[in-house]
Structure 1
Amino acid sequence: MTEIIQDLTLLLLVSLPINLLFHKIQWPSIMGYLVAGVLIGPHALGLISDPESVEHLAEIGVILLMFLIGLEFSLSHILKNVGRIFTAGILQLGSTIGFVALFSSVLGYSMRTGMVLGILVGLSSTAIILKMVTDRAEIDTDHGRVVIGVLLFQDICVLPFMLMVPLLGGETPLSIGDLTWALLKSGLAVGGVFFASRLLVPKILHGVARFGNKEHLTLFVILLILGTAWVGHFLGLTMAMGAFIAGMILSESDYQHQISLDILPVKDYFSSIFFISVGMLLNIGVFWQHAGMYLGAAAALILLKGFLGTVAVLLSRYSAGVAMMTGLYLAQAGEFSLILASLSAQTGGLTSDQYQDFLIVALLSMLATPPLIQWANPLLKRLVKKSQRIQTAPSDSEMDKLTKHVIIAGYGMIGQHLSRVLQEIRIGFLVVERDGEKIKKAMQHQAPVLYGDASHRDTLQRAGIEKARVLVVSKPDPNYMEQVVRLARMLNPDIYIMARTRSDVHVELLTAAGANLVIPEEFETSIEIFTRVLREFRIPNNIIEQQVELVRMEGYSMFRGLSLNAESLNKFSTYLTASLTDSVPLGEGDWATGKTIGDLDLRKQTGARLIAVVRLGEVHANPDSSFNLKVEDLLVLFGRHAMLDKAVARVRKGAPVEEPQQDEK
């Protein structure tokens, strides 16, 4: 136990300063963990006394990472696009295995060895890529969904591959029946775990949340993660696959957000251990002896997988941009490649030298992935064909008529609501979207939509950016939004640009790019919450609106590095103690309906005054006590805040007041 604590302390001691340095120079955090692993591993400084215990903790990190990815993944989207996604997976994996096997035979290796190498090269790193997709907020993007789907397919194939590799290493003939059964068993295991959990878990979760507290909910979620991981392993799947299924099951529950908050801190620590453990495997001494050969082989692996992955996604009827991004994300060996390579070396599929060579090349490809994704993203987006075919665009004559219109980049929930409102009030607008499903939805809503990428000059020019009055950008990827905003500002210096971001972290980035207004979801949600709280306490609308405006001014100024006078927010108590007016509409179920003003006796019972009744648009000022109240009358009340609260309770429920209010002078 002492050794484990010592090793974990050393892990943090070395990895923390390296990670801080990488954060300072804006390199991916995964890169820092991998480099730290190389330094403290047995082939460099040798600081870790028990690498095996670290590997066990690392596996927990992968399990938690896969669970959280499943929690944020759209199950409905996977089911809707399972054919296209799995087609891409089959093409990517099959083409890689076939090409590597044939190329290996040309180099003089046996077909069995070539098949083993093809399987090892075909798999990609689930842990590294999912970490990158999550950190870059790309889960909801087109390429993010395809990447995760292909990785999911690869994980399903791990079971038959684990059965194939020992057979390929021996002299016994391969049985197609055994391989088919292994693949079928893998699929049945996934389906069985999923549907069994789908039936039971939501009911149990609801019961725990209803009768227990937050601690019980967290314990149940941990039980679910470990339980599904264990059951998945028992059925022949990877434990990470079982955890991913558990996350997908809970992704559509009401407790998804709270579960994510509870698990996230633990996941970050354990998953960092995994990436450190991967770096520890690299043998620096062997690498330096043939550095050129290993670097060349790693570059060839990345280029081959990137190309074949791109072609596979293109053949699955995705756009060139999605295909190229997916190919980039899948262009490395995976952690299961390392496991299968070890198994193959034990069963004779690879010699010890071949195993060591593959291990170094695979680790180099994994080490290169984080910076490659970060640095190649902008380049790839420029390489994608700039002039895209406009499949659903309005006619040229309709486009020419657009002037002072609104361009909506992205047809998500915000884009849909905005376009519906603009349609109703007859303000010209055009949606720019690159997701096929969202384009179909826009066409169903009869919204004018242009197929294309708003981060490309030609697409924005086709949308009439020079003549547009407003641009609204609402996408989950902050880097993509920055490109759109910067390009739009360059093409039209006078356009008003609004951008939506999930967190206030990106407000300064988008403002610097040229956005006039950046709306963080977290901030606006907080405003909506306090607005509803104030309405519950009968604060008049004009006061609420005033406070909302003050908070927005203070908040958005703070995001931009400015500051308002904080005393402006301290005026609220003045409003609460001052005399106010409020209006109360009468409904059929209200106690005061059908009664006279004398029956109400508001002045005596609450201290508030009834100064007018509005009926059918006519104002009855200072009505007498015999005035009979009817449904849809609007009562105009005057008094202090506490008086108005009691008056409303009196009107609604006839609530008696123990101590009548006295007139205030």
Structure 2
Amino acid sequence: MSAHEGLPHLRELILFLCLSGVLIPLLQRRSINPVLGFLAMGTLVGPYGLGRLVEQWPWLSHLTFARVEDVSVFAELGVIFLMFMIGLEMSVDRLWALRRWVFGVGALQVGLSAVIIGGLAHAFGNPAEASVILGLVLAFSSTAVVMQLLTLRRDLGTPLGQASFSVLLFQDLAVVPLLVLVGLLGQHGDGSFALQMGQAAMKGVVTIGAIYLVGRRLVQPVFHHLAANQQSDTFMALTLLVSLGVAALTWAAGLSMAMGALLAGLIIAETEFRHAVEVTIEPFKGLLMGLFFMSVGMGIDLAELISRPLWLPLSVIGLVLIKGAVIAVLFRGFGLSTGRAVEGGLLLGAGGEFAFIVIGMALSYELLPRDVAQFMLLVVGLSMLATPLIARIGQAVGNAIDRRSGQRADATQVSDVDTLHNHVILAGYGRVGQLVGELLTDLGVAYCAIESDPALVARYRARGLPVVFGDASNPEMLRRLHLDRAGAVILTMDQTAPAIHAVHGLRKIAPDIHVLARARDEKHALALRKAGANVVIPETLESSLQLAAGALAQLGVPDEAARMLLDRARDNRTHPLRNHS
């Protein structure tokens, strides 16, 4: 048995890992959106790019993907993890906090855009089923591209960022019934189109409801029991089991695995383990999503652009303008300034990654003609490639409109309990962390705490306290709690190594954040100070000083003299900490 027979697609896997190892650092260095980079790379090394030249130059076979099918399995895993991560963002609290925007603006945007685009598709001769599918799927925007652009621009916390996030959130929710609908239509069952839609809705509601209700009762106790040993390999295995297991259940029920993965993420999003799961799955998600978008790029035949030099650009422009106009009107009607509404419309005007999933699924069921499907995939792919440029144009146009009209960009606010500003992150929620949290609450300062003991997390979350499960020494965990918008980080852990690791990690990703740390003694305090903590409080020193103060008072030493003695002792002990550079 050859190596290739023992491990299928070994050459393709090695080639992809080589491209990822080189491509990802280059994209990060040049601040290029990774999604667009993978799309472009897939187009270059795919069967419609350099793969066309393999017959003339056989050596290119080692550097290209000759067939999209060779990476389809890995790409499907990428879709599953994409949907799983989106599900993690969909907590019930977040949906309720943004309900006006999610179910108001989001629903209107998808509905109006789908009617207009679907009507145009029908006018061009497509049957009813194809027109409905195209209208709905082209109404979606790219969550991956838009969210990364907003993150890079630090606009997620702005009214425009929250409004855009709300629309994307509804679109992600709408994928579930759309996948069910496509699957049911593909069965070519008897009955009218309306009956088939009703069956799709009923089947989806029953299946999703059953899995969600059972999953909520099972997942949290299992995580709570198995996470108590704090072993990262066990936690990772459990995360993969839930995501892939629920996806397999929906597939067995005749629905989409992608829908099951989204449902698994939603189940975990309701628990205190949400952020820890995000950190655990992040490396796999990045690689597998990259493979998915690379496989998407492989299906883009740029030769079609040459053969249709007029219709393709016009279709891309038309898609952006139709959706952009709908979104701009809705954003303006719900309170954003005119300039920000126009910017939001252009930002969300392009197609999204779900089009590749849904159109590919519809094509496999023969619900779309192959030439129509290929054309629409090209339109979506090109619009996604153009999104960063369109976003920059939208930002410039929006700024110009607001300046001319005298409107303020921050004329409205969108509230979200998960979006904190100028808050304090507490790393550790033991005795000291709890006391600090109580003091911050009394002062009206928002905070979020990380604790590695699942029993403590469960106890305090039951009281409504903002505590999540995770490793406070993992800087990625802190990033998940909006470190870029935090006012300060307080480390209350009493273990030396995790606290020092946390400070080192913080200084790498947030060099300007103010870090206050608890230390066990002066030696521990000096190590934390060297690591980069701004303020360090040795608990043994303060306890000793408080005890000495009580003794001096009992002995009748005057308060002023006692205070001077204690201040001198404190200065002598903390001198190395204050003067360390």
TM range (shorter): 0.5 to 0.7
1:331 to 1:234, Cα distance in 2 relative to 1, 3 A:
farther
Matched residue, 1:583: 545
1:338 to 1:637, Cα distance in 2 relative to 1, 3 A:
closer
**Residue identity opposite 1:75 in structure 2:** V
The alpha-carbon deviation at position 48 of structure 1 amounts to 1.3
Matched residue, 1:274: 292
Describe the superposition over 1:311-353 as per-residue Cα deviations: whole angstroms up to 9, x where unpaired. 3455566676775565445323334433443454566654333
Matched residue, 1:619: 557
Q: Unpaired runs of 5+ in structure 2? A: 52-63, 414-418, 426-436, 446-480, 488-504, 574-581
Matched residue, 2:179: 159
1:196 aligns with 2:135: no
Matched residue, 2:519: 533
CA distance in 2 between partners of 1:232 and 1:380 (Å): 43
Matched residue, 2:72: 55
CA distance in 1 between partners of 2:302 and 2:130 (Å): 26
CA distance in 2 between partners of 1:330 and 1:352 (Å): 27
**Aligned residues of 1:124 and 1:331 also touching (Cα < 8 A):** yes
1:346 to 1:555, Cα distance in 2 relative to 1, 3 A:
closer
The alpha-carbon deviation at position 38 of structure 1 amounts to 0.3
Describe the superposition over 1:41-72 as per-residue Cα deviations: whole angstroms up to 9, x where unpaired. 11111221452241211222232233334435
The alpha-carbon deviation at position 249 of structure 1 amounts to 3.3
**Aligned residues of 1:66 and 1:241 also touching (Cα < 8 A):** yes
1:115 aligns with 2:132: yes
The alpha-carbon deviation at position 301 of structure 1 amounts to 1.0
**Aligned residues of 1:28 and 1:371 also touching (Cα < 8 A):** no
Alignment match of 1:289 (pick from 294, 307, 314): 307
CA distance in 2 between partners of 1:160 and 1:248 (Å): 18
Give the number of equivalent residue pairs.
474
Matched residue, 1:402: none
CA distance in 2 between partners of 1:365 and 1:180 (Å): 33
Q: Who wins on radius of gyration, i.e. which is larger?
A: 1
CA distance in 2 between partners of 1:611 and 1:336 (Å): 67
Matched residue, 1:218: 236
1:207 to 1:478, Cα distance in 2 relative to 1, 3 A:
closer
Matched ranges for 1:545-564 at <5 A: none
Matched ranges for 1:429-508 at <5 A: none
Matched residue, 1:240: 258
Alignment match of 1:31 (pick from 15, 28, 36): 36
**Aligned residues of 1:43 and 1:283 also touching (Cα < 8 A):** yes
**Residue identity opposite 1:271 in structure 2:** M
Matched residue, 1:10: 15
**Residue identity opposite 2:171 in structure 1:** L
CA distance in 2 between partners of 1:224 and 1:164 (Å): 26
1:614 to 1:85, Cα distance in 2 relative to 1, 3 A:
same
**Residue identity opposite 2:107 in structure 1:** I
Percent identity between the aligned chains? 23
Describe the superposition over 1:545-567 as per-residue Cα deviations: whole angstroms up to 9, x where unpaired. x998x659x678xxxxxxxxxxx
Matched ranges for 1:512-661 at <5 A: 519-520=512-513, 524=515, 527-528=516-517, 532-534=518-520, 537=521, 539=522, 582-585=544-547, 612-615=551-554, 618-619=556-557
CA distance in 2 between partners of 1:230 and 1:131 (Å): 29
**Residue identity opposite 1:55 in structure 2:** S
1:120 to 1:206, Cα distance in 2 relative to 1, 3 A:
closer
**Aligned residues of 1:160 and 1:183 also touching (Cα < 8 A):** yes
Alignment match of 1:142 (pick from 162, 165, 177): 162
CA distance in 2 between partners of 1:18 and 1:110 (Å): 42
Matched residue, 1:89: 106
CA distance in 1 between partners of 2:15 and 2:148 (Å): 23
**Aligned residues of 1:69 and 1:247 also touching (Cα < 8 A):** yes
1 or 2 for the larger relative contact order (CA 8 Å, sep ≥6)?
2
| SS of residue matched to 2:545 | strand
Describe the superposition over 1:351-407 as per-residue Cα deviations: whole angstroms up to 9, x where unpaired. 3332332222122122223444466446545545652499999xxxxxxxxxxxxxx
Alignment match of 1:178 (pick from 178, 196, 210): 196
Describe the superposition over 1:217-259 as per-residue Cα deviations: whole angstroms up to 9, x where unpaired. 2211111111122223344554333333333433454444443
| SS of residue matched to 1:152 | helix
| SS of residue matched to 2:544 | strand
CA distance in 1 between partners of 2:48 and 2:412 (Å): 58
Alignment match of 2:225 (pick from 207, 211, 233): 207
**Aligned residues of 2:78 and 2:292 also touching (Cα < 8 A):** yes
**Residue identity opposite 2:162 in structure 1:** D
**Aligned residues of 1:612 and 1:637 also touching (Cα < 8 A):** no
RMSD: 4.9
Describe the superposition over 1:459-508 as per-residue Cα deviations: whole angstroms up to 9, x where unpaired. xxxxxxxxxxxxxxxx95969x9xxxxxxxxxxxxxxxxxxxx965676x
1:66 to 1:422, Cα distance in 2 relative to 1, 3 A:
closer
The alpha-carbon deviation at position 83 of structure 1 amounts to 5.6
Describe the superposition over 1:110-130 as per-residue Cα deviations: whole angstroms up to 9, x where unpaired. 555543432342233445445
The alpha-carbon deviation at position 614 of structure 1 amounts to 0.8
**Residue identity opposite 1:103 in structure 2:** L
> How does the TM-score come out when normalised to structure 1?
0.59
CA distance in 2 between partners of 1:111 and 1:581 (Å): 76
1:100 aligns with 2:86: no
> How does the TM-score come out when normalised to structure 2?
0.66
**Aligned residues of 2:207 and 2:250 also touching (Cα < 8 A):** yes
CA distance in 1 between partners of 2:382 and 2:410 (Å): 41
CA distance in 2 between partners of 1:335 and 1:298 (Å): 15
1:197 to 1:295, Cα distance in 2 relative to 1, 3 A:
same
**Aligned residues of 1:85 and 1:316 also touching (Cα < 8 A):** no
CA distance in 2 between partners of 1:25 and 1:411 (Å): 28
**Aligned residues of 2:337 and 2:408 also touching (Cα < 8 A):** no
